């Protein structure tokens, strides 16, 4: 079993955030229906970016993002960024806004704003060791749903080549489970001639991801609830 076969997710409705282990950067990008615009790198090891002297940070233009997607993001350690619409908007940032961005990238904490009107960012992405820890703040609820609806089909390509996205209803059920800490062990997926079944365990909100991974069977045994996510005839359903 590989660590990327295990996904643990905590959804905070108040923060509009998803804290997760087991979701890599490219999997996040693949879940987005609209794709990313330009990206302002708050903390990373990427060397192919442009530099904005006024803000003091690197950025990647939308037309160059395909190069970033090919990178070994895990090797960076910290990987934090926000998206933005127009390059000219970086020139319009006030000193306080620049300070908030730099603080966010350095301390991984919010000093003031998460969503900047001038940048029109849809996400704040804070991660360490790609695939091990990420916390993503979402401006729009639809984007939150998309990560649930599209993540599973991507993870299950090793079992079944073409898997349809989930319905909004099923995605919403997963969001509800994630409010109390949702554990998905893809290595336990059951494949049959007619479909797939994936176990879901609601184990509570645990901040120590090492504990979740190293004591996974214990957490499963003590789960608040257990469910099965089933895929059959191009349809997803959740059964308890």
User: What's the pLDDT score for residue 1?
Assistant: 42
Q: pLDDT tens digit string along 217-226?
A: 999 999 999 9
User: What's the pLDDT score for residue 157?
Assistant: 80
User: What's the pLDDT score for residue 160?
Assistant: 77
User: What's the pLDDT score for residue 227?
Assistant: 97
Cα separation, 165 vs 174, in Å, equals 13
Classify residue 102 by burial, with Cβ atoms within 10 Å: 0-12, 13-18, 19+. middle
pTM over 0.75: yes
End-to-end CA distance of the chain: 25
Q: Which residues in the chain show pLDDT less than 50?
A: 1
Q: Please state, in angstroms and as integers, the Cα–Cα distance from residue 226 to each residue in 10, 49, 187, 207, 230, following that order.
A: 16, 44, 16, 20, 13
Cα separation, 182 vs 176, in Å, equals 9
For 232, list phi and psi in degrees, rounded to 5. Answer: -150, 135
Cα separation, 38 vs 128, in Å, equals 21
What is the distance, to the nearest Å, from the Cα of residue 27 to the centroid of all Cα atoms in its chain? 8
User: What's the pLDDT score for residue 2?
Assistant: 54
Q: Please state, in angstroms and as integers, the Cα–Cα distance from residue 175 to each residue in 12, 20, 33, 178, 230, following that order.
A: 9, 13, 18, 5, 16
User: What's the pLDDT score for residue 34?
Assistant: 86
């Amino acid at each position: 079993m590989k660590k990327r076969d295990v996904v643990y997710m905590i959804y905070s409705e108040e923060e509009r955030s998803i804290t997760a282990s087991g979701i890599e950067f490219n999997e996040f990008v693949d879940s987005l229906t609209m794709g990313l615009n330009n990206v302002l790198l708050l903390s990373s090891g990427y060397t192919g970016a442009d530099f904005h002297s006024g803000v003091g940070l690197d950025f990647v233009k939308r037309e160059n993002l395909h190069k970033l997607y090919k990178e070994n993001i895990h090797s960076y350690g910290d990987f934090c960024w926000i998206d933005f619409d127009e390059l000219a908007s970086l020139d319009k940032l006030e000193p306080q806004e620049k300070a908030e961005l730099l603080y966010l990238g350095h301390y991984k904490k919010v000093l003031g704003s998460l969503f900047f009107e001038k940048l029109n960012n849809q996400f704040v992405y804070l991660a360490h060791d790609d695939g091990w820890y990420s916390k993503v703040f979402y401006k729009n609820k639809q984007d939150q749903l998309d990560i649930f609806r599209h993540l599973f089909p991507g993870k299950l390509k090793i079992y079944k080549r073409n898997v349809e996205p989930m319905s909004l209803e099923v995605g919403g059920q997963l969001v509800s489970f994630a409010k109390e800490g949702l554990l998905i062990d893809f290595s336990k997926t059951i494949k049959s001639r007619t479909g797939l079944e994936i176990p879901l365990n609601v184990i509570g909100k645990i901040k120590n991801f090492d504990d979740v991974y190293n004591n996974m069977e214990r957490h499963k045994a003590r789960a608040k609830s257990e469910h099965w996510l089933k895929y059959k005839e191009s349809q997803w359903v959740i059964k308890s």
